[in-house]
Structure 1
Amino acid sequence: AMILVLCCPVGPYFKSGFVPIKLSVDAKYIRAWPGGTGNVKSGGNYGPTVISQAAAASNGCSQSLFVYAKEEYVTEAGTMNIFFLWRDERGVKQLVTPTLDDGTILPGVTRQSVLELSRQWNECETIERMIPFADVLAASARGDLLEVFGTGTAAVIQPVSGIVYEGREINPSEPFDDKSFQRRLTDYLISIQYGDIEHPWSHVV
């Protein structure tokens, strides 16, 4: 018997390609909750998302942004982990993503890669914590919501151009271009995957 394993980088996860998408916040249908199975690959995690994804599509959005509890804690964006680049009330730039502590999100490999690269680059504070959606709204109201993106094995890094919440859309203030933080992360990760640069994560065979 022989086992053949083929590995290769994949193309864009969404039909639109590597261009920004919109998310729709869903507080009605909950993907995962503390004490559940949100932190593992379980079919039960995806059943509750079907209706939500259809509702997101009807709003012109590609994915749902799932939240839970009365505080509307952010969990995941469809099939992706979610990241926010913002300035806090002190004007300090931070890259923030939901913590793994409550067991509601998958511990994604790309998520971990982004966290480690961000800490190595040291361009901003890199934080894992509970994120009430009110914090996202507050950053947007101040003009301090700079970038939003999702991460995943299939999506790699997916830029987000807008988040629809209760009938209104909030948008990151900085453009998605070659200088954006998420674009530089994407290019660097893909260069590692292809072996174009020397890196401890890359083993050319």
Structure 2
Amino acid sequence: MTDIQITLTKEPKALPPTDNLGFGNYFTDHMFVAKYSEDKGWYEAKILPYGPLPLDPGASVFHYGQALFEGMKAFRQADGKIVFFRPEFNQVRMAQGAERMCLEAPPMELFMKGLHEVVKADARWIPNEPNTSLYIRPTLIGTESFLGVRPSRETMFFIMLSPVGSYYAEGVKPVKIWTEEKYLRAAPGGLGAVKAGANYASSLKAALEAKKKGYAQVLWLDVEHQGIEEVGTMNVFFVFNNEIVTPALNGSILNGGTRDAIVELLKHKNLPIVERKITITEVVERLQKGELREAFGTGTAAVISPIGELHYRDKDWKINGGQTGELSTQLYKEITGIQRGELPDPFNWITPLK
């Protein structure tokens, strides 16, 4: 693996106010960049001041959408220690997505070394207030300049950092969700299981329309507009009287890192977690019968986002009286407690900064 060349900025930015960070509004002083080509392998790995990337107008990322990314976080714990939450999961998922997108994935050693070095360079940006963290965006793009539909022979891997607060303006409070029956996020055999930029591009129209109607996110259904897949940028869980259900990974649903952690945590608690197909019809019918106790989304950005209201076919359905559920609250406290070092980590999810 190539060594990392480090060039630190001579003009560090002023830190933003930590009581009003929002999400993705600020970027740190530095970024990590590495390049790959078929003849050179991985080369020019650098930590350098944050700024524009030099890309040819013919780069495949612009014309053929060869782009995918990861979302992960670093935390400053109570004792001052800086830690990552399950970084190996993100490298493995990026490698799996890169294979589908015909891009060269950074090997684990390069991924982890770049991650540690860039966060070390920008450690002063990591906030320690409640509900804050350093969001990390590893990104992979095709950079070869050509016009012709084939995979790029050149790849760029970069990591950018952003201090963040709550993902939703509502904070850790129940959100209103719109069930989408016109647009599709993904289809069988497509890119739904990959964290590809194209998936997010296809979701923008429905999300924009939902927000105009007063809803925070979109509940995505399958091609038959029945099977539940995801909630916007999150996976989704439904807590019934006799079981906790999350849609099974079917090739068009992203294997979310927080989803994976929640499933492991629920099994550790011996709670009846089931991964299976679930339809919007089943959810509404069981809600009418009083069997749906709560619902929530899971994702790196929001961690856990309770669903207080679900719109489906001209009707708003209240879930748990529009209040945050007991299980949602408990899981949020446990995940964030482990992340911040306030609770023990029996799952080896935490990786200290080296």
Deviations 1:22-55 (A, max 9, x none): 1000011000111110011112111221110122
1:16 CA drift (Å): 1.6
Whether 1:194 aligns to 2:340 is yes
Q: For the residues of structure 2 that align with 1:165 and 1:110, how far apart are their CA atoms?
A: 26
Alignment correspondent of 2:283: 136
1:201 CA drift (Å): 2.0
SS at match of 2:208: helix
1:142 CA drift (Å): 0.5
Q: Among residues 118, 125, 131, which one is paired with 1:5 in the alignment?
A: 118
Larger Rg: 2
What is the letter of the counterpart of residue 289 of structure 2?
A: R
Deviations 1:80-103 (A, max 9, x none): 11111112xxxx2x1111111x21
Whether 1:157 aligns to 2:276 is no
SS at match of 2:311: strand
TM (norm. structure 2) is: 0.53
Q: For the residues of structure 2 that align with 1:173 and 1:139, how far apart are their CA atoms?
A: 13
Deviations 1:63-94 (A, max 9, x none): 0100023351111111111111112xxxx2x1
SS at match of 1:146: strand
Q: For the residues of structure 1 that align with 2:230 and 2:321, how far apart are their CA atoms?
A: 22
What is the letter of the counterpart of residue 97 of structure 1?
A: T
Q: For the residues of structure 2 that align with 1:21 and 1:173, how far apart are their CA atoms?
A: 12
Whether 1:48 aligns to 2:202 is yes
Distance 1:191 1:11, change over 3 A: same
Q: For the residues of structure 2 that align with 1:148 and 1:59, how far apart are their CA atoms?
A: 21
SS at match of 2:254: coil
1:59 CA drift (Å): 2.2
Number of equivalenced pairs:
197
What is the letter of the counterpart of residue 312 of structure 2?
A: Y
Q: State the 4+ residue runs in structure 1 displaced beyond 3 angstroms.
A: 174-177
Contact 2:181–2:225 at 8 Å: present in 1 too? Answer: no
SS at match of 2:267: helix
Superposed counterparts of 1:1-205, under 5 Å:
1-2=5-6, 3=47, 4-6=117-119, 9=133, 10-70=164-224, 72-87=226-241, 92=242, 94-100=243-249, 102-122=250-270, 124-173=271-320, 176=323, 180-199=326-345, 200-204=348-352
Contact 1:147–1:174 at 8 Å: present in 2 too? Answer: no
Q: For the residues of structure 1 that align with 2:232 and 2:344, how far apart are their CA atoms?
A: 33
In structure 1, the gaps of 5 or more residues are none
SS at match of 2:275: strand
Distance 1:43 1:147, change over 3 A: same
Q: For the residues of structure 1 that align with 2:176 and 2:351, how far apart are their CA atoms?
A: 35
What is the letter of the counterpart of residue 286 of structure 2?
A: A
SS at match of 1:46: helix
What is the letter of the counterpart of residue 188 of structure 2?
A: P
* Most deviating of 24-33 and 48-57: 48-57
TM (norm. structure 1) is: 0.89
Q: For the residues of structure 2 that align with 1:5 and 1:198, how far apart are their CA atoms?
A: 27
1:58 CA drift (Å): 2.4
Greater relative contact order (Cα < 8 A, sep 6+): 1
Alignment correspondent of 2:70: none
- CA-based RMSD of the aligned residues comes to 1.8
1:118 CA drift (Å): 0.7
Identity %: 35
1:107 CA drift (Å): 0.6
What is the letter of the counterpart of residue 193 of structure 1?
A: Q
